[in-house]
Amino acid sequence: MPETLNISDAEWEVMRVVWASGESTSQEITRVLNGKRGWSQSTVKTLIGRLTSKNYLHARKESRHFIYTTHLDEPESLKLELEGLLGRICSRKIPNLLAYLVEKTPMIAQDRAMLEEVLQNKQVVAEVPCDCYPGQCTCHLHASGTILSDQSHEEITHEN
């Protein structure tokens, strides 16, 4: 499993069909995506082509057509994408974001129980290091005196 993926939104639609069925023909992928997004065969073909050339899909020939499979794992792939996004903010703010996600995600009792257990086993640290580049996070404003040379900015309101 690669370190970094780059599967576009449209490509992801194709992947989902393959993930859902284990293996699919282009015909089936087209049927689903034509229904869901109104895409033409051509469009789906292009996407399949791009995915196979990136080696995210594999084509096995069977008589007249190809059967597509993938070795990528769906949740795993999404984790990679999520991590990319989470890298956009200060690691200190991530727990808040998770709280938000937990709040807004519909779940059943078992899900909640599972999360509770994860939380109970969760090891905490004394301090989460800020991983931001100086000037991209307020955590750094109190680190030194070499602050920015321009003028009045801040408002160091939040911190979380």
Partner DNA sequence: CCATTACGTTTACAGTTGTAAACTTTAGAA
Partner DNA sequence: TTCTAAAGTTTACAACTGTAAACGTAATGG
Extract the tokens encoding 25: 């023909």
Site string for a second copy, 42-71 (x = CB under 8 A): ------------------------------
Residues 6+ away with beta carbon under 8 Å from 48: 14, 26, 29, 57, 68
Of residues 107-136, which lie at the interface with a second copy (CB under 8 A)? 107-109, 111-112, 114-116, 118-119, 122, 124-128, 132-136
Token pair 């911190």 is at which residue? 159
Strand 58-62, strand 65-69: pairing: antiparallel
Contact between 1 and a second copy by CB under 8 A: the answer reads no
77 lies in the binding site for DNA (CB under 7 A): no
Under rule CB under 8 A, which residues in 15-34 are in contact with a second copy? 16-17, 19-25, 27-28, 31-32
Residues 104-127 as b or e (16 or more Cβ within 10 Å = b): eeeeeeeeeeeeeeeeeeeeeeee
Least CB distance from residue 114 to DNA, whole Å?
Answer: 32
Binding flag, residue 63, DNA (CB under 7 A) = yes
Least spacing, CB of residue 91 vs DNA, in Å: 21
Residues 16, 19, 21, 46: which binds DNA (CB under 7 A)?
46
Residue with smaller CB distance to DNA, 48 or 90: 48
* DSSP-assigned beta bridge partners for residue 58: 69
Token reading at 92: 């200190």
